[in-house]
Structure 1
């Protein structure tokens, strides 16, 4: 029976929260195409969008359409999933989407819980930390699209919304679900940022808000959900075929993973980003030829950014990179590749869309927030794909992540 409809602002976030719900024993699906309909027999349906940095009107319209699809499938409770580093600007897109969903659902309150302690994201005294650093002092300060120069979540959200934003501090959370519920009911603020520094706090918040029609946060809050009855160990059998990694992310962790792959003697190929602007077909064709020439038992890595200076100042560069990598993967699948790790939220969305995958079946976890998933391409090919947020995963993930496949 449908219990939760999730609206995710990017594709890696969608598989991230789906992994969390599946681990808690919920039958979970990820819908990756605009015309894919939620299965009424699924406990949790996650709609994967590309709204994090889309124009505000587009982001709001697509989020409301996702809500309506989920409601039509029988979901009566909803979750807006955004990045655990609250990636946004002073204009949005988190605030405008929340405002629209509050109006559509009639929610009196909506908690704001970006914390994901397993990946070092915690909220204390209303401030968001990345491991031991305040958000504004982390690598997110220099993000090319959503530079995070503040750490207090309420201060980030307030300029984005027409509603007021309150806070519930850690002492209240640690007093238990009833204390949190009492604080939320007493608040005059439609949005309430709730502290969480460990998984026990997430369990408390999830219990306190179980009856809420709308919640928001990172996937950590899903890890606090009450246990479901589905078999969390069930996974698909991996399709036979060659392996591939593509990276459109410029994050510090992805660059570290590329360096680790180089150190492990994995074949690596860096796209000529400058040439993409003048002769993209040639760059894509060269990458495809290089992939075919690699040993069949290797896991070659195609990437766009190896060091920070590789990041292009060209505003259209990211779009060209996403297009190129998605085309490279599409051609690789046609050449017999069947297992693929994709690094970067926007790149993941581009790849899945280019392949024509309608929905993803969640499989084995690789790392907190990262899992293998099964998809069927528009041409009918079954593949295993892992969509990785730029800053997630162990440094050696590009060489060890394959071990989780059945």
Structure 2
């Protein structure tokens, strides 16, 4: 294995896995596999990039650090020469969050410095300029992320925000130096005496330049966009041959589970429910035991063949009221359990295409499905929308998953995903 990725949630792992698998243009990328949690056995020798998905994004700091270091040791044991710490392209963490502590722990273990920090992902509207993170044409702190139920973001200055989480020095790599090319970018990183360097990037070409400048860097951190130029280094050096992800998925019954409250997901839900059967989950009913997975499964079965959707997505003010009543962690845990139980029950009814919206929801569902199928490695296939590939797992009766971060995907993502994943049977 050449590149090892430690991702702090499942959908984040999927989107960087897709980036590594695609690579750039005709030269392709790396043969990539995604793992739900840290594997307990060695990986196949044909895998060139391994992506470990953790649930460390909103975990206690000590647990996030411990899990990340355990993932690091496994990746190093597989022969990885470059490690990527992948976090969300909206850098969603709290002032006491995990990005800084985990990055520090990895840097200590790898004895690394001048480490790039770059959550830019232009394909999904995330860019960094003068150290500030933008979502589209607005600052991150003025976007919908300011209302995130678990990790609200109130400051778009990544250099300052990271400074809240670490005592290490944080520098800035401005766009004019990156525009001058990989050599100048490498020189700028070498000249910095800081442990971390926040790098500007507003176009994919800037990420490709950063990738070239990071050839040989033991540790890189960022959103999935930071991996855009990394496979090329290994392909051009002859360590990898370059591959293209397979298209298609599997035929079978389909369902959509949405647990995200992001603006993008709410828009996708609104469009889908105009022409498809949709079931709004009453969260208080769930919390008080009046609604369970059997109810969701019954609705989906009743409308099988017409892309049925069940969702818990709601407006921020409604979400806050429910969280105030039952507790943030309790609501999140119960909904994750509900969706996981539903997905596993659907497998028993021969559902083979499942779309999931929401980072935490996707992680819970993917872990449950992987455990049920005893299939820890997920094959990365064609990309549906930027950052969202088709994931295949299982041998005898394979299952196709599309796991979408709340903020990702076009407004018609649900129908598009099911179409690319395969046909109804």
Q: Take 2:403 and 2:155, find their aligned partners in 1: how far apart are those partners?
A: 28
Q: Does 1:165 align with 2:170?
A: yes
Q: Does 1:276 align with 2:286?
A: yes
Match of 1:307 in 2: 315
Is the partner of 2:198 in helix, strand or coil? strand
Is the partner of 1:288 in helix, strand or coil? helix
| Preserved CA contact (<8 Å) 1:126 1:153 | yes
Query: For residues 93-119 of structure 1, what are the alpha-carbon distances to aligned partners after superposition, in whole Å with 9 as ceiling and x for unaligned?
Result: 000000100011111221001000000
Q: Take 2:37 and 2:173, find their aligned partners in 1: how far apart are those partners?
A: 37
Q: Take 1:185 and 1:7, find their aligned partners in 2: how far apart are those partners?
A: 24
Match of 1:324 in 2: 338
Is the partner of 2:79 in helix, strand or coil? coil
Match of 1:185 in 2: 190
| Preserved CA contact (<8 Å) 1:249 1:343 | yes
Match of 2:305 in 1: 297
Q: Take 1:184 and 1:18, find their aligned partners in 2: how far apart are those partners?
A: 25
Match of 1:9 in 2: 8
Match of 1:287 in 2: 296
Structure 1 stretches lacking a partner, 5+ long: none
1:196-215 residue pairs with structure 2 within 5 A? 196-215=201-220
Query: For residues 350-370 of structure 1, what are the alpha-carbon distances to aligned partners after superposition, in whole Å with 9 as ceiling and x for unaligned?
Result: 111212141110111100000
> Which deviates more from structure 2 when the two are superposed, residues 158-167 or residues 309-318?
309-318
Is the partner of 1:279 in helix, strand or coil? coil
- Choose the corresponding residue for 1:255, options 266, 277, 280: 266
Q: Take 1:7 and 1:220, find their aligned partners in 2: how far apart are those partners?
A: 14
- Choose the corresponding residue for 1:230, options 235, 242, 266: 242
Query: For residues 33-88 of structure 1, what are the alpha-carbon distances to aligned partners after superposition, in whole Å with 9 as ceiling and x for unaligned?
Result: 43344334311100010100001111000000000010111112100000000111
> Which deviates more from structure 2 when the two are superposed, residues 86-95 or residues 368-377?
368-377
Query: For residues 333-366 of structure 1, what are the alpha-carbon distances to aligned partners after superposition, in whole Å with 9 as ceiling and x for unaligned?
Result: 1112110111111111111121214111011110
Q: Take 1:231 and 1:215, find their aligned partners in 2: how far apart are those partners?
A: 23
| Preserved CA contact (<8 Å) 2:245 2:380 | no
1:6-405 residue pairs with structure 2 within 5 A? 6-24=5-23, 25-37=29-41, 38-227=43-232, 228=235, 229-235=241-247, 238-263=249-274, 265-279=275-289, 282-294=291-303, 296-311=304-319, 312-313=322-323, 314-315=327-328, 316-355=330-369, 356=371, 357-376=375-394, 381-405=397-421
Match of 2:26 in 1: none
TM-score normalised by structure 2 residue count: 0.91
Q: Take 1:308 and 1:47, find their aligned partners in 2: how far apart are those partners?
A: 31
Is the partner of 2:20 in helix, strand or coil? helix
Is the partner of 1:399 in helix, strand or coil? helix
Q: Take 1:226 and 1:363, find their aligned partners in 2: how far apart are those partners?
A: 17
Q: Take 1:233 and 1:15, find their aligned partners in 2: how far apart are those partners?
A: 13
Report how far residue 308 of structure 1 moved. Answer: 3.2
> Which deviates more from structure 2 when the two are superposed, residues 334-343 or residues 349-358?
349-358
Q: Take 1:39 and 1:93, find their aligned partners in 2: how far apart are those partners?
A: 31
Q: Take 1:309 and 1:244, find their aligned partners in 2: how far apart are those partners?
A: 28
Report how far residue 310 of structure 1 moved. Answer: 3.5
Structure 2 stretches lacking a partner, 5+ long: 24-28, 236-240
Report how far residue 318 of structure 1 moved. Answer: 1.2
| Preserved CA contact (<8 Å) 1:39 1:45 | no
Is the partner of 1:244 in helix, strand or coil? strand
Q: Take 1:178 and 1:53, find their aligned partners in 2: how far apart are those partners?
A: 37
